[in-house]
């Protein structure tokens, strides 16, 4: 089931869109302001973001720019503004689509489906990477990869948050809990994981984002 983050502060629109999206089979989280939207986005994985422009705390453009620092998730802008320069500003900041209010429900749902489907198609090559927590199994392009427990936990965490940058501190908390050692333990383990994955693919699945951390990218066909 695809998960959508709805960033909107108008109660009537929230109620209506949440019902419509839920009926279509999506899971929906609602953020009524920009700060909450960014917190939800940092804590969860979403397949699409519906983002209003006029949000309290942080406006839609600020939220979009923050999202684009770490993620390529599809973002559809919802706004009553119809000026061309507003649309251009959001598209230049990385928005995937732009819908003006009042909008046609069927059209909006079609745009949501199109963007979610497109993303699913782009991510499909990642099926070449299998990370199975139940069996503690990792395979790349059908080839089994033997990892230590720590290496597996790091890869599984990044796999759970694919296409999102995770800092060394976030990885440490997820894998080790309360840990007071050196953060370079993550660097050492990532180096080992890359070396083992390289046996099955020349693609760099785990990429370094300078000054931030690591991100797991889908395998390209």
More confident residue, 35 or 219: 35
Which structure tokens are listed for 145?
A: 């990869």
Instruction: Give me the mean pLDDT over the 7-33 stretch.
Output: 93
Residue 123: per-residue pLDDT = 47
Instruction: Give me the mean pLDDT over the 96-122 stretch.
Output: 82
Question: Sign of the CA dihedral 168, 33, 94, 108?
Answer: positive
Q: What is the pLDDT of residues 67-87, one digit of tens each?
A: 988 887 889 999 887 676 677
User: In sequence order, which ranges of 55-148 are alpha helices (DSSP H)?
Assistant: 60-68, 84-92, 105-123
Query: If phi over 0 gives left and psi between -120 and 50 gives alpha, with beta otherwise, what is residue 67?
Result: alpha
What confidence category does residue 50 fall into, taking pLDDT thresholds of 50, 70 and 90?
Answer: very high
Q: What is the pLDDT of residues 53-66, one digit of tens each?
A: 999 999 999 999 99
Instruction: Give me the mean pLDDT over the 20-27 stretch.
Output: 93
Residue 94: per-residue pLDDT = 87
Residue 56: per-residue pLDDT = 93
Which CATH topology does 133-216 take? Arc Repressor Mutant, subunit A (1.10.10)
Residue 167: φ, ψ to 5°:
-75, 165
Residue 40: per-residue pLDDT = 94
Residue 148: per-residue pLDDT = 92
Cis-peptide, bond into residue 180, ω within 30° of zero: no
pLDDT at 151 over 80: yes
Q: Rounded to the nearest 10 degrees, how much is the dihedral formed by the CA atoms of 156, 167, 56, 36?
A: 40
Residue 124: per-residue pLDDT = 45
Q: What is the pLDDT of residues 170-213, one digit of tens each?
A: 999 888 887 656 668 899 999 999 999 988 888 888 999 888 89
Which CATH topology does 3-124 take? Rossmann fold (3.40.50)
- Residue range(s) occupied by CATH 3.40.50.2300 in the chain: 3-124
Residue 132: per-residue pLDDT = 84
Which structure tokens are listed for 160?
A: 């759970």
pLDDT at 221 over 80: no
- Residue range(s) occupied by CATH 1.10.10.10 in the chain: 133-216
Mean of the per-residue pLDDT values of the chain: 86
């Amino acid at each position: 089931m695809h998960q959508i983050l709805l960033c909107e502060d108008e109660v009537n629109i929230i109620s209506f869109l949440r019902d419509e999206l839920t009926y279509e089979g999506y899971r929906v989280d609602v953020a009524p302001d920009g700060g909450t939207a960014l917190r939800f986005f940092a804590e969860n994985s979403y397949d699409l973001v519906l983002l209003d422009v006029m949000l309290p705390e942080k406006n839609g453009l600020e939220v979009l720019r923050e999202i684009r620092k770490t993620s390529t998730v599809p973002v559809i802008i919802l706004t009553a503004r119809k000026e061309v320069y507003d649309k251009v500003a959001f598209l230049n900041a990385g928005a995937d689509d732009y819908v003006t209010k009042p909008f046609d429900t069927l059209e909006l749902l079609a745009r949501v489906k199109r963007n979610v489907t497109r993303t699913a198609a782009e991510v499909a090559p990642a099926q070449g990477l299998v990370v199975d927590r139940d069996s503690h199994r990792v395979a790349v392009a059908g080839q089994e990869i033997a990892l230590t427990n720590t290496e597996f936990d790091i890869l599984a965490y990044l796999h759970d948050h694919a296409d999102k940058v995770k800092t060394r501190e976030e990885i440490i908390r997820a894998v080790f809990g309360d840990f007071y050692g050196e953060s370079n333990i993550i660097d050492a383990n990532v180096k080992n994981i890359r070396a083992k994955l390289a046996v099955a693919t020349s693609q760099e699945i785990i990429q370094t984002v300078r000054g931030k951390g690591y991100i797991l990218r889908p395998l390209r066909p």
